[in-house]
Amino acid sequence: MDIYERLKDELRLLAGDSMDEKVSVVSARALTAKEAIGETGRDDYPLLKGKEAMVEALYKGVKGHAFTDMPGGFEGTVRDVIMLPLANNFERAVFIATINAVMREAGLITGTVHCRDDEPGRCARELVSYVREKFGNPRIAFVGFQPGMIERLSEVFQMRVLDLDEDNIGKKKFGIVIESPEATEDVLAWGDIILATGSTCVNGTITRFVGQKPVIFFGVSGAAVTKLMGFERYCRYPH
């Protein structure tokens, strides 16, 4: 079954009789960088550079976040969200943020709100130990530009990094040349494990990274997807 159809089925099931009740209105809005992650002490996160935005869905007072490069506002019911065709990154961001909020309200997941201030840096440092304990000394195929994690991991492991941002592609970051999506097959074949941003469930590329070798999704966007699909997720400071 298609991942998004599986998610829509879950959303229908969880919403139940609340799908059309106005008290269960879902709203999503683009957060400012400071609202989303606070003061991190660095300026190279895509969110802080304006390359991405955080979308926040509110369902029965519970929040769910998702990263996207197509932010915007949305107001409607859960039924309206389920009816979205998910034809672009904006619609998928609204959908993913919403199911994150709904599943959290149901008590099925945590970590649907992005960590803040010094927590992203601490999370990146602890990722090194996490990888070493689980996999030893693997070659890492890293999907998405998460500078804190890349900086820390590159001090210890061999890495290749894929990114969609043309401003990063071909540039050397932390001693690693960032590669384009055209190199995906080669990079995935090279790596022993895959570390992929949960934003792949927003941009629709998530299916390219599962089923081949060990994959760990990191970040807030993948909270619901990883729970439902049984994928591994790294999120050290859930909110």
- Shared domain check, 99 and 57: yes
- Shared domain check, 11 and 49: yes
* pLDDT, mean of each 10-residue run, the chain (239 residues): 91 88 45 53 45 83 89 88 94 94 95 86 94 98 94 97 91 95 96 96 92 92 96 90
The CATH number linked to 182 is 3.40.50.11590
Contact call for residues 153 and 131 (beta carbons, < 8 A): yes
- The pLDDT, as a whole number, for residue 42 is 41
- Shared domain check, 213 and 125: yes
- Shared domain check, 181 and 101: no
Angle (CA) 205 35 122, round 5°: 70
Number of domains into which the chain is organized: 2
130 belongs to a structural domain: yes
172 belongs to a structural domain: yes
Q: Which strand (E) or helix (H) includes residue 151?
A: helix 147-154
- Shared domain check, 100 and 125: no
The domain boundary, picked from 59, 81, 105, lies at: 105
Range of the domain at 77: 3-105
76 belongs to a structural domain: yes
